[in-house]
Every structure is written in structure tokens, then in C-alpha cells.
Amino acid sequence: MTDLFPDDEPWVEPVTPGAVILRRFARGCARELLAGIDAVAARAPFRQMQTPGGFTMSVAMTSCGALGWVTDRQGYRYQPRDPQDLQPWPLMPPAFLTLGQQAAESAGFPGFMPDSCLINRYLPGARMALHQDKDERDLRAPIVSVSLGLTARFLFGGLSRRDPVRQIPLEHCDVVVWGGPARLAYHGIMPVRPGEHPLVGGVRYNLTLRQSGKNE
């Protein structure tokens, strides 16, 4: 948002081959993104899902787009309907799609066509364990991850869980894009610290845009 960052222009911060952080990239559409989150959550409320191992995730989630990502005792998967009411997931807000495509192209991945957006809501203390995004059929497409609200400490490692892991601060409107040789890098989020963002309040939201390839 230009009113929050009047003198701070976006810039590109390389992480590793195939992965970059587009600092402040989403600031011009932050209010549209937050309005989109509210609209999606009004149709498909946030919920804390279970892992296949039976653990309840600390992060609350919902989805939009043609497919939504879900997890339960049956496993991780994409499906076209919300398991809570069996209705199609809400349409992906245009601001989500436009930002995802622009971010991917800026990171060197033109032609990105996301069909799913997982929306994560982090309250203080919520975290995301190291994992790979590998439920997509087409691993040629990148992952686009948008941060809104409270600052997070992003964990980014290598292709093996044993590889060294970097802790990278992510602030409001930062966008991370990874693909190519980094597409299956392990990543996660350290427990979010309490705070208050002037636009979002005491919450961190994350938009993860993916091209699942499940409809191809």
C-alpha cells in the first residue's frame, strides 16, 4: 500500500536458483487482496484441518479457485468441492490471479495460470512445519506465495529435509516465487510472533497460488 510504504519501492531479492523474494510487490493491491480474502471466507470459512497422522494444524485454511487443497485422515489432495458443505470452492478473486501472474512473470516464470489458491490464516503462535509442495501434477509451474499482515520468519531449505535451512523475514506485501530447480524445496513458517499491523491487525495471511495441473 502506497500510504503505508510511501518511500519504499519494490525490489527483487534472490534466494537460490529458481527462488526470489519480490519485496513489497503486492503493496499496490493489498486492500483488494484483503477484501478478496473476506469474500472467500464468507463463502468457505477458515478451518483448522487434520493431517493424515491425525494432528490438528495450528494454521486455519480455506481455498478458492477451481480446486481447493485439503488435508484429513485420508491424505493430502486437491478437490473441486469444499468438504464442509460439498459446494464448489469460491471463484478466485481477479486480484489474486492478476498478482500471481505478474509475480511469476517478474520472477522469470511467464505463462503461470493458477487454478487454486490456498489461504492460510496465522494467529500468534501458529506455524507451518517444513514440507514440499508436491501434490500438483505439473511441477513445471512455480509456487507464488503472498504475505499480508504480521511479519513471518520463512524457512527455506533444499531438496532434502536434511539440507541447511535459511530463516528469511517476510513482511506485509512481500511475495516469494519459487520454481525450476527450487520447485520442490522444503519450506515452512516459524511460530508467528504477536503484533499489530495497521491494516490487518494481529493476524498474518498467506496466499499460496498454485497451478495444480489436475484439470489438464
Binding residues for 2-oxoglutarate: 120-122, 204-210
Q: Residues forming the annotated binding site for Fe cation?
A: 131, 133, 187
Q: How many residues does the chain have?
A: 216
- Can you tell me the distance from the alpha carbon of 14 to that of 97, in angstroms, rounded to the nearest whole number? 23
Q: Residues forming the annotated binding site?
A: 69, 76-78, 120-122, 131, 133, 135, 161, 187, 204-210
Would you call 140 helix, strand, or coil by DSSP?
A: coil
Q: Residues forming the annotated binding site for substrate?
A: 69, 76-78, 135, 161
Amino acid at 24: R
Q: How far apart are the first and last CA of the chain?
A: 36
- Can you tell me the distance from the alpha carbon of 212 to that of 134, in angstroms, rounded to the nearest whole number? 9
Contacts (Cβ under 8 Å, ≥6 apart) of 96: 33, 36, 64, 114, 117, 207, 209
User: Other CB atoms closer than 10 Å to residue 188's CB: what's the count?
Assistant: 15
